[in-house]
Amino acid sequence: MAGTAVRGRLSTWQTATVGPVTDETPKVRTLRLEVPEWPGHRAGQHVDIRLTADDGYQAERAYSIASAPGEPLAITVERLDDGEVSPYLTEEARTGDQLEVRGPIGGYFVWEPGSDSGGPLLLAAGGSGIVPLRAIVRERSRAGSSVPVRLLYSSRSWEDVIYSTEFGLPPGGVEVIYTLTRSQPRMWQGYARRVDDQMLAEVAWPTADRPLAYVCGPTNFVESVAAGLVKLGYPAGRVKTERFGATGG
Amino acid sequence: MVDEETLDGNAIGGLLMEVFGTDMTTAVATCGSCGAASQVAELPVYMPGLGTVARCRSCQSVLMVFTEVRRVTCVDLMGLASLSYGPN
């Protein structure tokens, strides 16, 4: 296929105003974004955020949408110490600040009630990979879906667990299984290692149930979980993946 | 070839939307070298800073290259046999 040049990338960026901000963990924040012409979004989609410095330098990054369709647009952002965008979003952004947003984006890593054959959902998150999966769980509740869900959530420590209050009392039919890879609270009874084939064999729905899997997180996490599920017999087409790279967004 | 910096086609959804005017993450990309077909979201994507490269999942050939020069996005799709959009 031939190459071409596309002039002008002006049309799809919109101005967003930062709304209420919620601290989730010491390094993670949820920001409501008010976008006047927001067309609505689907669970699992993301937005691109663009910041422009005084000298005109621009940096943009993708962030998963944390809210369900029908809820106000919100993103959850983890601070990366050497990041160009996340330190601003997690430390400096205040209610009323303005930034540029493009989206909603994506049609692959998306879940909609009834859009599939009805098998149970296996959701697997590494770190801030939980964000789009949280939108999926909320959408399931909002839409009144009863599809059974198992959510396997890998974090470094309990202090790093995002949405711990929300998932501490999950909706009926949703089971949350944690693994803490670096440190664990005293008396911790959950998993305490990286997700491996043995853990997947214990947690994942049997293939006979025709499960559908969504895996999101750092690239190494996603590669390893997706490969493990395929080894268990999940068809590759039933394992949807989204990779954040080395750092998790 | 897949290292921890490797992203996937989800990450270029916004860029592709600018270029094509619609979501392309579920479009099917067919490699011009080996003929393997997969959804754009499943392609390994590298963003080393100078530009963005999407490769074939099977043979690692370069399928798409995007570079931005003075606010103009240059698109090279030479590695693709086809890029088809529609229900799949």
Kindly provide the ipTM of the predicted complex, given to two decimals.
0.92
| Interchain CB distance below 8 Å, A108 and B2 | no
Min Cα distance A100 → chain B (Å) is: 13
Answer whether residue A247 shows pLDDT above 80: no
What is the pLDDT, as a whole number, of residue A249?
Answer: 40
Report if residue A136 sits inside a domain: yes
Alpha-carbon distance A128 to B84, whole Å?
Answer: 32
Alpha-carbon distance A192 to A77, whole Å?
Answer: 25
Report if residue B17 sits inside a domain: yes
Whether A126 and A235 share a structural domain: yes
Average pLDDT over residues A197-201: 98
Q: How many domains does chain A have?
A: 2
Whether A232 and A154 share a structural domain: yes
> Does the CB of A7 have a partner CB in chain B at under 8 Å?
yes
Query: Which residues of chain B does A105 touch, with a Cβ-Cβ cutoff of 8 Å?
Result: 13-14, 17, 23, 25
Nearest CA in chain A to B23: A106
Residue A71's domain comprises: 13-105
What's the pLDDT band for B69 if we cut at 50, 70, 90? confident
Range in A132-136, A207-211, A219-223, B3-7 with the lowest mean pLDDT: B3-7
Nearest to B26 among A1, A108, A241 (CB): A108
Report if residue A8 sits inside a domain: no
Query: Which residues of chain A does B78 touch, with a Cβ-Cβ cutoff of 8 Å?
Result: 1-3
Report if residue A113 sits inside a domain: no
Report if residue B2 sits inside a domain: no
Whether A57 and A168 share a structural domain: no
Report if residue A1 sits inside a domain: no
Report if residue A7 sits inside a domain: no
Alpha-carbon distance A52 to A45, whole Å?
Answer: 24
**Residue range A100-111, pLDDT digits in tens:** 999 999 999 999
Report if residue B24 sits inside a domain: yes
Whether A80 and A33 share a structural domain: yes
Answer whether residue A194 shows pLDDT above 80: yes
Q: Interior CA angle at A215 toward A84 and B76, to 5°?
A: 60
Q: What is the pTM of this model?
A: 0.94
Tokens of A57: 């330098």
Whether A69 and A131 share a structural domain: no
Whether A134 and A237 share a structural domain: yes
Closest C-alpha among A149, A141, A101, A143 to residue A122: A149
Whether A82 and A125 share a structural domain: no
What's the pLDDT band for B48 if we cut at 50, 70, 90? confident
With tokens 């869900």, the residue in question is A149
Contact B83, B16 (CB under 8 A): no
What is the pLDDT, as a whole number, of residue A4?
Answer: 61
Helix H or strand E encompassing A33: strand A28-34
Report if residue A137 sits inside a domain: yes
Contact A73, A35 (CB under 8 A): yes
Alpha-carbon distance A36 to A233, whole Å?
Answer: 45
Query: Which residues of chain B does A49 touch, with a Cβ-Cβ cutoff of 8 Å?
Result: none
Closest C-alpha among A101, A106, A111 to residue A134: A111
| Interchain CB distance below 8 Å, B10 and A106 | yes
Give the CATH number for residue A227.
3.40.50.80
Give the CATH number for residue A98.
2.40.30.10
Q: How many domains does chain B have?
A: 1
Whether A125 and A232 share a structural domain: yes
Contact A153, A162 (CB under 8 A): no
Whether A169 and A100 share a structural domain: no
What is the pLDDT, as a whole number, of residue B67?
Answer: 95
Closest C-alpha among B27, B75, B31 to residue B51: B75
Average pLDDT over residues A219-237: 97
Alpha-carbon distance A115 to B28, whole Å?
Answer: 20
Whether A136 and A48 share a structural domain: no
> What CA–CA distances, in Å, run from A65 to A47, A178, A225?
7, 22, 22
With tokens 């910041």, the residue in question is A51
Report if residue A6 sits inside a domain: no
Report if residue B50 sits inside a domain: yes
Residue B11's domain comprises: 7-84
- Paired sense of beta strands B44-46 and B52-55, if any: antiparallel
* β partners of residue A99: A16
Give the DSSP letter of residue A111. B
**Residue range A22-81, pLDDT digits in tens:** 999 999 999 999 999 899 999 999 999 999 999 998 899 999 999 999 999 999 999 998
Answer whether residue A120 shows pLDDT above 90: yes
Whether A95 and A142 share a structural domain: no
What's the pLDDT band for A184 if we cut at 50, 70, 90? very high
Tally of helices (H runs) and strands (E runs) in chain B? 1, 8
Nearest to B5 among A6, A48, A246 (CB): A246
What is the pLDDT, as a whole number, of residue B88?
Answer: 44
Q: What is the mean pLDDT of chain A?
A: 93
Whether A87 and A52 share a structural domain: yes
Alpha-carbon distance A17 to A12, whole Å?
Answer: 16
